[in-house]
Chains A and B, each alone.
Chain A
Amino acid sequence: MSDFTLVGGTMAAATPLIFAATGELVGEKAGVINLGIEGMMLVGAVAAFAAGAAGWPAVLALAAAALAAALMALLFAGLSLSLGANQYAAGLGLGILGSGVSAFIGHAYAGVSLTPIAPVLFGLDPLVYLALLLAGGVTWFLSRTKAGLVVRAIGESPRAAHDIGYPVIAIRYGVTLFGGAMAGLGGAYLALCYTPLWIEDMTAGRGTIALALVVFSAWKPWRVVVGAWLFGGVALSGLFAQGLGVALPSELLSALPYVATILVLALARTRALEVPASLGQTFRAEG
């Protein structure tokens, strides 16, 4: 295979990770950690697949995926933001519920396949470019706009932001729903472009890799892209190595993103990672 396929394949493999991780990054910047990305991706995947199988145009299928996953995120937000439930517990519940909902609906599509979205440029489909635009847009939003500054301020000190007069809970709702919609697009990419054949649990841990990527990237969107290429490239080079007859257990390469993230967590100083100070903490306006 040519180098070009390797580059293109890497970019394709990175795309769902970029969508999901960039969405999660914005939420974490505002202090909300959602461990249920995997569940939201799976719901997005099944929504997109069902829409595609019903003959909807790709744009509508993507919208359905984003909406369905955002609805799942709304459940999480209602629990953790309005009712003050622990974010980690609510995220775990979301992961279990989402994977169940996805498998339940997807049951009817076992073995069904779709025609993948056609490539537009350099043999890659439009979503690959959309993911890069998203990462660029989020970088600009967080570092160059007033709204982005408010999001970051809420992540650092929700109490101070509240006292100044910013609607902390409402903004956290907004970023959580955005994160859900992006996870949904990541799942939709898998269902419509990457493996357009319905397989239960088709995300295969990508939601957790996305969560890892946010840490790996030290909460910087452009590093999410680099990290996603790295993780995508590693996974793909494993396939190439096997194709060339190099005996490497595929599990070893699949484990690399997790191991790399644990190493980054262990080796980087917490300060250098720039963890949002209020990450995972419940905020109540009433005090």
Chain B
Amino acid sequence: MKRLVLERRAAPLAWMRLGAPLLAVALTLLAAGLLVRLLGRDPWETFTIFFVTPLSTLYGLSEWLLRASPLILIGLGFTVALRANVWNIGAEGMFVVGAVAATVPALAFGDDHPVWLLPLMMLAGTLGGMAWAAIPAFLKTRANVNEILVTLMMNYVAGLLLSYLVNGPLRDPAGFNYPQSAPFDASAQFAPFGDAVRLNGSILITLAALPLTWLLLERSFLGYRMTVSGAAPAAARYAGFGQAGLVWAGLLISGGASGLAGMMEVAGPLGQLPLSVSPGYGFAAIIVAFVGRLKPLGIGLGGLLLSLLYLGGEAAQMSLGLPTAMTRIFQGALLFFLLGADILITHRLRWRDR
């Protein structure tokens, strides 16, 4: 009788770090194919509608990048914080607070069409996300409170704050009681690149953030201190790297990036602040970061992948009547397969005699 066992490798298998996400994507597709088959549909037709149709038009390509942009920006922030061993799973809340903070000046000054409105909104969104992140940072550095629980809880608080605001002070007076703000003036929105697309200049922010994050993580002293402190806290203390400062930096950068992404969403494709401002970007971006191996280039690719899952889910709903919940199933399955595949970096599967 033989059985399958896991055996620790003498040294980690370096290429598997990149192989694991590819394996996870392949397994997710396989599982998805089985699910689709189980539902009595043709897997190839469904896959075409899910992954090919959305990218076959200019509009589709623009949506692909438009959706990937916040995922990448939030994923980059998550990665910076994680480098300092800070688990910020509160990006969803920081995104929401950033969107809210950007909405206030948009509604207050939009009627005067000032040229400085968009920069002001960018500042407000970033600061909003940072302010939300400052609470777990303060609690972690002052009272040694676990940031994972605090950031998770604060997602709900942010969602409730948004609900209160769009049902109350920020609700569009002419909006038939819908839980959303008034539409923004053109001066409070990024202009789309063309009439047929929704992609706009805010994508440049994300494109700039990719190399900046690389510089921060791999070439800056702050990134170096974060890496040492995250990997070997005792060594970092001995070297005199203030742990508290790094926790603050990690959370503020992560919060700022998430808040700015929230601003880009309301000032971009949404053009107002609705109750449903985020389709779970804050959580999906964590998958983006892990799939991207916590490296900027990988996060860029991971963002494109998760963005395609969102688009595909919507396309499958429209043309096949499949529930959009499929997107969440695929997201969860992808993360599960990735976490499982990662064992192959350090271990090998072996048949062994009982």
Name A's B-contacting residues (CB within 8 A): 35, 39, 75, 78-79, 82-86, 88-90, 92-104, 107, 200, 205, 208, 211-212, 215, 249, 251-252, 254-255, 258-259, 261-262, 265-267, 270, 286
The reply to whether B156 and A104 contact each other, CB–CB distance below 8 Å, is: no
Q: Which of A85, A96, A102 counts the most chain B CB atoms within 10 A?
A: A96
The closest CB in chain B to the CB of A75 belongs to: B336
A11 to chain B, nearest CB (A): 23
Query: Given A211-B152, A215-B149, A258-B153, are A96 and B164 neighbors across the interface (CB < 8 Å)?
Result: no
The reply to whether B161 and A84 contact each other, CB–CB distance below 8 Å, is: no
B28-64 interface mask toward A, CB cutoff 8 Å, 1 = contact, 0 = none? 0000000000000000000000000000000000000
Which of B94-102, B122-130, B265-273, B325-333 makes up part of the contact surface?
A: B325-333
Which of B10-18, B138-146, B170-178 makes up part of the contact surface?
A: B138-146
- A88 to B280, alpha carbons, bound, how many Å? 17
- A104 to B329, alpha carbons, bound, how many Å? 8
The reply to whether B339 and A35 contact each other, CB–CB distance below 8 Å, is: no
- The answer to the question of B89 belonging to the interface, with a C-beta cut-off of 8 Å to chain A, is yes
- The answer to the question of B281 belonging to the interface, with a C-beta cut-off of 8 Å to chain A, is no
The reply to whether A265 and B343 contact each other, CB–CB distance below 8 Å, is: no
The reply to whether A96 and B328 contact each other, CB–CB distance below 8 Å, is: yes
Q: Identify which of B149, B168, B290, B323 contacts A107 (C-beta below 8 A).
A: B323
CB within 8 Å of A: which B118-137 residues = 135
- A266 to B149, alpha carbons, bound, how many Å? 11
B334-345 interface mask toward A, CB cutoff 8 Å, 1 = contact, 0 = none? 011001101100
The closest CB in chain B to the CB of A215 belongs to: B149
- A48 to B136, alpha carbons, bound, how many Å? 37
- A83 to B154, alpha carbons, bound, how many Å? 30
B1 to chain A, nearest CB (A): 20
- A103 to B146, alpha carbons, bound, how many Å? 31
Residues of B within 8 A of A90 (CB): 336, 339
- The answer to the question of B148 belonging to the interface, with a C-beta cut-off of 8 Å to chain A, is yes
- The answer to the question of B278 belonging to the interface, with a C-beta cut-off of 8 Å to chain A, is no
Number of A-B contacts defined by CB within 8 Å: 128
Q: A103-B328, A212-B149, A251-B160 are in contact. List 9 more A-B contacts (CB 8 A).
A: A85-B342, A95-B332, A100-B329, A104-B326, A265-B149, A265-B150, A266-B139, A266-B143, A267-B143
- The answer to the question of B163 belonging to the interface, with a C-beta cut-off of 8 Å to chain A, is yes
Query: Given A79-B336, A85-B339, A96-B331, are A258 and B325 neighbors across the interface (CB < 8 Å)?
Result: no
Q: Identify which of B6, B164, B332 contacts A98 (C-beta below 8 A).
A: B332
Q: Identify which of B89, B161, B323 contacts A104 (C-beta below 8 A).
A: B323
- The answer to the question of B186 belonging to the interface, with a C-beta cut-off of 8 Å to chain A, is no
Q: Which of A92, A249, A266, A267 counts the most chain B CB atoms within 10 A?
A: A92
Residues of A within 8 A of B224 (CB): none
- A159 to B146, alpha carbons, bound, how many Å? 23
Residues of A within 8 A of B154 (CB): 258, 262
- A49 to B8, alpha carbons, bound, how many Å? 44
Q: Identify which of A102, A208, A251 contacts B152 (C-beta below 8 A).
A: A208
